[in-house]
Amino acid sequence: MGKGTTLLMQFIKDNLLFVYVANNVNDNSCSTLPEKVAQCFLSHFESLLPKIKQVVESNESNESNESNESNESRRLPKLAKGTRDFAKEQMVVREKAIAIVGNVFKRHGAMALDISFMI
């Protein structure tokens, strides 16, 4: 069974047990027990229907959030070597390192070359 079906079945079982105990169904005969439980459940089904809808809707919203998050991590394109974008933290470190190297070259009289790529 799926996750939502399992949750719904557990919810129904919990409420069936509550209805069963609330109506004092104490007859132990196996033939009448399912009938009595079914009658108790059907008599209380209308009051349980909004709760069931709420459980189903909350499960659907949780699954859609989870599926969106999992899809984001799965759908990363494969990048060619040398075209990788760095994270913000990595870019800060790269820019500081390049600035330090550039300052050392400037102190020694080097001139900047205009090139179309960065190291």
Number of domains in the chain: 1
Beta-carbon contacts of 4 under 8 Å, excluding residues fewer than 6 positions away, are 56, 59, 60, 63
Residue 54 lies in a domain: yes
Q: Give the residue from 96, 95, 100 showing the smallest Cα distance to 118.
A: 95
CA distance 119 to 113: 13
Percent of the chain with pLDDT over 90: 5
Instruction: Give the angle 72-76-81 at the CA atoms, nearest 5°.
Output: 160
Domain-located, residue 65: yes
CA–CA separation, 2 and 110 (whole Å): 67
Question: Looking at the domain assignment, is residue 17 inside a domain?
Answer: yes
Residue 85 lies in a domain: no
Assigned domain for 33 exists: yes
Q: Is 106 contained in some domain?
A: no
In a domain, 91, yes or no: no
Q: What is the mean pLDDT of residues 35-45?
A: 69
User: Do the beta carbons of residue 4 and residue 60 sit within 8 Å?
Assistant: yes
Top-confidence residue, 32 or 118: 32
Sign of the four-CA dihedral 13, 16, 21, 25 = negative
pLDDT at residue 110, rounded to an integer: 85
pLDDT at 118 over 60: no
**Sequence-separated (6 or more) residues with CB below 8 Å from residue 55:** 7, 8, 11
> Tens digits of per-residue pLDDT, 96-117?
998 999 899 889 988 877 676 6
Q: What residue numbers bound the domain in which 57 lies? A: 3-74
pLDDT at position 54, please? 83
In a domain, 20, yes or no: yes
